[in-house]
Amino acid sequence: MTAIIETDGLTKSYGGKRGIVTVTFQVEEGDVFGFLGPNGAGKTTTIRLLMGLLRADTGAARIAGLDCWKQSVDIKHLIGYVPGEPALDPNLTGGQILEYFAHLRGGVDDTYLKHLIERFELDTSRKFRQYSTGNKRKVVLIQAFMHRPRVLILDEPTSGLDPLNQQEFDRLVEEAREQGRTVFLSSHVLSEVEKTCTTVGIVRDGRLVRIGSVAEVKAIKRYQITMTFATAIPAEAFKGLDGVLEVEAFDQGHGVRLAMQGAADAVIKAAAHYPVVSLTSVEPSLEDIFLRYYEPDNAPDKEARGVA
């Protein structure tokens, strides 16, 4: 696999205000990359730098080996883009907007364009200013997909879409992935990223704090093991074991609840010395992991060390 999107020490500030700071990552071709972060974290700044709408202070961004600033026009032949806040001529109808952008792209496959319009059930005869938020989003999504771009850069693409259209969007992304196209999407909706993406990057205060496959990110996790025993057991038996962060006894020593990180091998071996009645392990959702990255004390630093 080769990297189709690369950033290297990408930094951007707005006057004295922080935008992003030394953001470095790679997205492999054919990957669906989720760019996660809360509002103001720097997601849109990164995307606008990739789109050549902003010029980096330092660092570089490349798409398909082309410099995002110097060769931006060449890059845009390859890209479909959805901005975070769709702003288009309010007096044009949805159909006119799609036709305009089709012309600007040098023409698109009309059959596929009509197919997309059908899939999103878009009424193309209404003026853009008359559309609901969701319908505005549909127009912008269709224009991003209509030329079957090699790379899709989508800034919070499902914001305002109803669940049915979100499903349609998920299917489009899945189809793009199956066709080997690359999708870079930003979101603060964790379930969306967990469902759609193969790789995830988490940005906080303008810095990339975490990047890896969804499975990797979830592997470096905190989870909880709860065990009950036929007899009261000493909770101290589990303290200090590899992977154990906290131990809490309950039911007068008949049960322990362990906060875990990493492998559970030592815990299982220690538990084998006692008559185990039940053992449950609760997996964290990506949501739990994500939220922990935004804890005030920056708790995940410990986890971040061993990750790509």
Using rule CB under 8 A, residue 206 touches another protein: no
Which CB, 94 or 255, lies closer to another protein? 94
CB 124 → another protein: shortest distance, Å? 6
Alpha-carbon dihedral 97, 156, 61, 179, rounded to 10 degrees: -80
Beta bridge partners of 11: 58
Question: Which range binds another protein by CB under 8 A, 27-35, 124-132, 185-193, 283-291?
Answer: 124-132
Which CB, 87 or 282, lies closer to another protein? 87
Among positions 2, 9, 104, 299, the unique one binding another protein when judged by CB under 8 A: 104
List the interface residues with another protein, window 55-84 (CB under 8 A): 55, 73-74, 76-77, 79, 81, 83
Dist CA 266 CA 239 (whole Å): 11
Using rule CB under 8 A, residue 145 touches another protein: no
Among positions 22, 66, 105, 259, the unique one binding another protein when judged by CB under 8 A: 105
Which CB, 89 or 265, lies closer to another protein? 89
CB 103 → another protein: shortest distance, Å? 5
Nearest C-alpha neighbor of 183 from the set 71, 108, 81:
81
- Token pair belonging to 40: 């103001």
Instruction: Please give the size of the binding site for another protein, defined by CB under 8 A.
Output: 45
Nearest C-alpha neighbor of 296 from the set 207, 219, 205, 222:
205
Among positions 95, 134, 160, 284, the unique one binding another protein when judged by CB under 8 A: 95
List the interface residues with another protein, window 1-30 (CB under 8 A): 14
The residue behind tokens 């110097």 is 70
CB-neighbour burial class of residue 303 (10 A; exposed 0-12, middle 13-18, buried 19+): buried
Question: Which range binds another protein by CB under 8 A, 24-32, 119-127, 173-181, 187-195?
Answer: 119-127
Site string for another protein, 216-245 (x = CB under 8 A): ------------------------------
Using rule CB under 8 A, residue 141 touches another protein: no
- Interface with another protein by CB under 8 A: which residues? 14, 48, 51-55, 73-74, 76-77, 79, 81, 83, 85-89, 93, 95-96, 98-106, 110, 113-114, 117-118, 121-125, 129-130, 140, 143
